[in-house]
Structure formats: C-alpha cells, structure tokens
Amino acid sequence: MIRAIEYRRFGGPEVLEEVDRPEQAPDDGEVRIAVRAVGLNPIDFKIFEGDLQPVERVQRLIHPRRWLEGASARFPRGVARDFAGVIDAVGTNVADLAGGDAVLGTLRSAPGQADTHGAFTTELVAPTDDVVKKPAPLSFTQAACLGVASQTACGAFRQLNLHEGDVIVISAAAGGVGSIAAQLALSRGATVIGIAGARNTEYLRSLGIIPVTYGENLTSRVCEAAPSPITKLLDCYGGGYVKLGRDLGLTGRSIGTLVPSPTAILRGAQFTGSRHSSGRIDLEEVAQLVADDVIKVDIARTYPFTLEQVRAAYTELAKGHVRGKLAVDLSCNPTRILYTSTSTRE
C-alpha cells in the first residue's frame, strides 16, 4: 500500500485527508516514481477549494459524455501536480527513461480539473510526457518546485512573443511563478520590472530585476523605473494589473494574464500560461537553467509529509505572501529499492 493525500468535497485545507491506496503498475508509455518531494502551487488550493468550478462546468459542457456525471464520479481527487523522485518501474514502449533515473515532472490536466491521483503520494504513475530527467546538480526539493512554474512562464512568453530587448512588467514577481518567470525573461535578454511588496525589494534587485512596490501611483512609478519604453506585461496575480497594462499604453496582445476574469478578457488581455506550454521541452529548459545557476529557486520552507503539515503548508500558501516556493519532503518515507519493468526492452 502507498500513502496519499486526497479530498472528497470542496473546501479549505481541512478537507484534505490521508488514505492508503494499492500499488499501481505502469501501463503503456508510463513510469512509476517513488516520490521524494512535492512542490506546492496556488492552483492546487484553488482547485480543492472549488474556486475553479465554473471552468470545470464549461469543460463538462464541451464534453457531452460528462453531462450526466455525478459527484461520485468526480471524487475522490488527488492533490498537487509538481513532483520529483526516482523511477522504480517502467511500462511498455518507454524509450528514454529507465528504472533508477532521478526525474521531475508535473501532472497535467484540463483547465480547472484535478486528477484522481495527485502528486501527494509516496508512489505515483505518470505518462512519460509529464516526466523529464533531473539534472544532477538539482536537489529533489528544487526539482519538485519547477513543473507548473516552468510551463506557465514558458507558455506565457511564447504567447506574448517575448524576445531580446523587450521591457516587461511582471506582477507578483517574488512569488513562485513570478520569480521564475522574471529570471527566465532576463535569461532571454529582456529587461524586467518586477512588482512586489516592499520587503522583497532587495531580493528582486539581487536577481537583476528592477523592483517597484505595490501601492498608489503605480503606473507613474513603473514608468519612472523603466529604462526604455515598456513593451509587455505579464500578470501573475489578477486584480487590476491588466488595467495597468492598458494604462501603460500596451495593446491586448502585449498583455498576458495567468488569472482569467471577464474584465481581463473584455480588456483584450490574453489568458495564457501552461495552456501554451510545449510540455517537456519547457520543463527541460528551465531545469537546466536552474542547474546552471542562471535561475535561482527560492524555497521559503520545506514541510515533512504528514497530513497536518500539508494542511499547514496550504494554509500558509493561501495567504498570498510567500516569497518563492513551498515544498514537502517525502524522502524520509520508505521507498522501493527493487526496480521492476513491464517493458520488453533489454
């Protein structure tokens, strides 16, 4: 049996529960991973709190086979997407991954939906499209913090056509996604103006980002900080940042938001992020940049893998003031030593 965290109804962290599940063998094109660390993302609690139910209702309308689906078909659900660990079993038709490989990945699903099995488990089965090899310099905790952030940032910049010489404004630039997005933009030759709280000013400056604090007269202060005309804006927070882009003179195609809203869409902003990601390619790119010390991953805190501590981690994350990432360490849990394979490869 394996340990896992799941939920059977929408609500706050108190709905999360620990369960035992039977081991699962990998199928065609899948690998099984002994999980060593899990990275937390705001999308996790937005899903289990039910904030994205309207998006899920749209998905159900699009797929007629789900019209009569009841609550019992949608629960229980797994929690979290980002993970790192070691492959301990390989399914058929897997060419580029093998037992014993250290890997990282992110479980992908339709917008607003959760999977039956999440990353919070001592052992998970994932399709190879969701998994890449971990560069040796990365710790498992660092690697587990890259999935959603990497694919979100790369997808957003692909949609915004970010290129060398751009001057981009990024909101929530000290957060888990924003900090990686800002550093990725720098690595591509852009100038980055990062909006964050006053306590993160020196942190952003240490990364090469031009810091601007939240507050009044934001438009004028951003303009004053810009060394040349602003060309792009990426909203990693929501609220009024799409309006800020308009106030800065940007058109809708130059404004991206990770937080869709009717107001943002009416203003012509692009709803972007992981929906425009190239999957493994983006994850491999960012993982290598972290391994090369081009991008730094700031892990604010690492929690042990207990139900109480997982709930505490999401409670902290939901406050919205975490610099960088939160992670959960599963390395102290017993892991499978024997590698098994169901493939026919030699």
State pLDDT tens for residues 323-343. 889 999 998 654 444 444 444
Find how far residue 127's CA is from the centre of its chain: 17
**pLDDT recorded at residue 65:** 54
Q: What percent of the chain has pLDDT over 70?
A: 87
Helical ranges in the chain per DSSP H? 42-48, 53-62, 71-74, 140-143, 147-160, 176-187, 201-206, 218-225, 241-247, 262-266, 280-291, 307-318
Confidence bin at 52 (pLDDT 50/70/90): low
Residue 19 has pLDDT above 80, yes or no: yes
Cα dist. 1→77, 189, 306, 329, 342 in Å? 18, 49, 16, 19, 19
What is residue 68's three-state secondary structure?
coil
**pLDDT recorded at residue 71:** 52
The more confidently predicted of residues 64 and 161 is 161
Q: Tens of pLDDT along 311-325?
A: 999 999 998 888 889
Q: Tens of pLDDT along 164-194?
A: 999 999 999 999 999 999 999 999 999 999 9
Alpha-carbon gap, residue 274 to 236, rounded angstroms: 12
Q: Tens of pLDDT along 75-94?
A: 789 999 999 999 999 999 99
Spatial CB neighbours of 291, under 8 Å, sequence gap ≥ 6 = 135, 136, 137, 138
Q: DSSP labels for 76-144?
A: SEE---EEEEEEEEE-SS--S--TT-EEEEE---STT---SS-S-BSEEEEEGGGEEEPPTTS-HHHHT
- Look up the pTM and report it: 0.86
Q: Name the residue with tokens 């038709």.
A: 93
Alpha-carbon gap, residue 332 to 194, rounded angstroms: 37
215 φ/ψ sector (left φ>0, alpha ψ -120 to 50, else beta): left
**pLDDT recorded at residue 155:** 96
Using omega within 30 degrees of 0 as the cis cutoff, is the peptide bond preceding 262 cis? no
Domains of the chain in start order, with CATH, are 2-146+297-341 (3.90.180.10), 148-276 (3.40.50.720)
Helices 280-291 and 147-160 cross at an angle (nearest 10°) of 110
Residue 280 has pLDDT above 70, yes or no: yes
What is residue 186's three-state secondary structure?
helix
**pLDDT recorded at residue 338:** 44
**Neighbour-count burial for 64-95, b at 16+ CB within 10 Å, e otherwise:** eeeeeeeeeeeebbbbbbbbbbbbbbbbeebe
**pLDDT recorded at residue 115:** 58
**pLDDT recorded at residue 91:** 96
Q: Are the C-beta atoms of residues 3 and 120 closer than 8 Å to each other?
A: no
Find how far residue 300's CA is from the centre of its chain: 16
Residue 138 has pLDDT above 90, yes or no: yes
Confidence bin at 344 (pLDDT 50/70/90): very low
**pLDDT recorded at residue 260:** 73
Helices (H) and strands (E) in the chain, counts: 12, 17
The more confidently predicted of residues 19 and 117 is 19
Alpha-carbon gap, residue 104 to 87, rounded angstroms: 10
**pLDDT recorded at residue 335:** 45
Residue 39 has pLDDT above 60, yes or no: yes
Mean pLDDT of 121-139: 96
**Mean pLDDT score across all residues of the chain:** 88
